[in-house]
Amino acid sequence: MPTNHIIVLDNRPTGETSASNFKLITAETPALKEGQVLVRHHYLSLDPYMRGRMNDGKNYAQPQALGEVMIGGTVGEVIESKHPEFTVGQTVQCMGGWQEYSVINANLPGALKPVNAGKISISHFLGAVGMPGVTAWYGLVKIIQAKPGATVTVSAASGAVGSAYGTLAKARGFRVVGIAGGKAKCDYVVNELGFDACIDYKVHKDYISLSKALKDACPNGIDGHFENVGGMVLDAVMLRANDFARIAVCGMIAGYNGEPLVMTNPTLILKSRMTIEGFIVSEHMEVWPEALAELADLVASGQLKPRETVAQGLASAPEAFMGLLKGKNFGKQLVKLI
């Protein structure tokens, strides 16, 4: 069995995450038991939710345990199998974590999923045709529930979730306005993804200024919004939201390092009779087949052109993760392991 390289959470961060919170270790891969599969990971997904799991406080899931492999989605290749449904050489997806190899109990429902990589890159199964894409789909279809012709917005528009959300929304006949950081990201959102407009939040000093830019981009107001960031962005959107607007919340990355996220005008929730709903996409597994099928078609047809930022080698994961939390990535953040 191969020697494995693993990154564990060594200690919990206080404030911003640092490289010292992680530790790279080496361990021997255990021999397989009946029903188990050995997977060699090709790509590791880095996602903002991991920052919340590093804390020891209340969350929607158990905190990341100290001294154990960091949680994370992976896609890779079966190199040994003692399960009849999985064969050597097969491409699979799993929650393999920050490591090069994983021993997976394939008898557990959903623990190991075959991937049909014939038409699209296997890396996209960690982004546009994976958890981020389904997150976008659920927020748009099940929470925002806008009608054709409506105006919808999304923060972190150039990211894995935001790009899928915008493409799905355009396919449904909505006016789509993104919010992203930097001219290059805004240009990508408009020119390659086909958004109607994109606002660079970095050129605005406060939510009032950002809200004025949203007014110009959304002359008929905002009917639905997908929130990944929180803070100033959400304050600005709420000022432009129409009566009965619906807001799907899947992330608050502006506060992931422990900063308080004060809502400036909460009375707007009542005055505009808004619906604001947070959600965790793993709690809605019933929608995944439908969502993944639509997302795969969009990528295969070229309608959805996912961007990726790829770090090389397992040892690069901590720095890449810290960059993700600061918005340094462009599109989906991955680590290439092979």
Half-sphere exposure of 129 (CA within 13 A, CB side): 23
- Tell me the backbone φ, ψ of residue 11, rounded to 5 degrees: -160, 160
173 in a structural domain:
yes
91 and 222 housed in the same domain:
no
- Indicate the residue among 282, 298, 328 that finishes a domain: 282
Note the pLDDT of residue 259.
76
Residues 151 and 101 in one domain: no
Number of domains in the chain: 2
At residue 165, the pLDDT reads: 97
Output the CA angle 299-312-5, nearest 5 degrees: 115
Which domain covers residue 116, as residue numbers?
3-127+306-336
What's the CA gap between 109 and 126, in Å, rounded? Answer: 19
Q: Is the pTM of this model over 0.95?
A: no
- Co-location of 137 and 122 in the same domain: no
Mean pLDDT by 10 residues, the chain (338 residues): 96 94 97 97 96 85 94 97 97 97 95 89 96 97 96 96 96 96 96 97 96 97 96 96 97 78 93 97 94 94 93 98 92 96
Answer yes or no: is 59 within a domain: yes
Q: Are 64 and 54 in contact (CB under 8 A)?
A: yes
Is the domain of 91 the same as that of 35?
yes
Strand partners, 5: 26
pLDDT of residue 280: 94
Q: How many CA atoms lie within 13 A of 91 on its CB side?
A: 14
Give the model's pLDDT for residue 91.
97
Buried b / exposed e over 310-326, threshold 16 CB at 10 Å, is: ebeebebbbebbbbbbe
Provide the pLDDT for residue 253: 82
Q: Is 287 inside a domain boundary? A: no
Residue at 298 is within a domain: no
Look up the CATH number of the domain holding residue 177.
3.40.50.720
Determine the pLDDT at residue 238: 97
Residues 30 and 121 reside in one and the same domain: yes
In a shared domain, residues 117 and 141: no
CATH number for the domain harbouring residue 47: 3.90.180.10
Residue 184 counted as domain residue: yes
- In this structure, the answer to whether residues 123 and 136 fall within a common structural domain is no
Identify which of 86, 82, 85, 96 has the alpha carbon closest to the alpha carbon of residue 40: 96
What was the pLDDT predicted at 1?
82
* Residues 135 and 206 reside in one and the same domain: yes
The verdict on residue 235 lying in a domain is yes
Residues 6+ apart with CB under 8 A from 319: 19, 311
Same domain, yes or no: 171 and 41: no
- Are 101 and 162 in a shared domain? no
- Has residue 290 been placed in a domain? no
Q: Quick check: 242 and 146 in contact, CB under 8 A?
A: no
Residue 173 burial by Cβ neighbours in a 10 Å radius (0-12, 13-18, 19+):
exposed
Q: Is the dihedral of CA 82, 84, 88, 91 positive or negative?
A: negative
Question: Which has the closest alpha carbon to 195: 211, 213, 212, 218?
Answer: 218
Q: 99 and 136 share a domain? A: no
Looking at the structure, do residues 153 and 255 belong to the same domain, yes or no?
yes
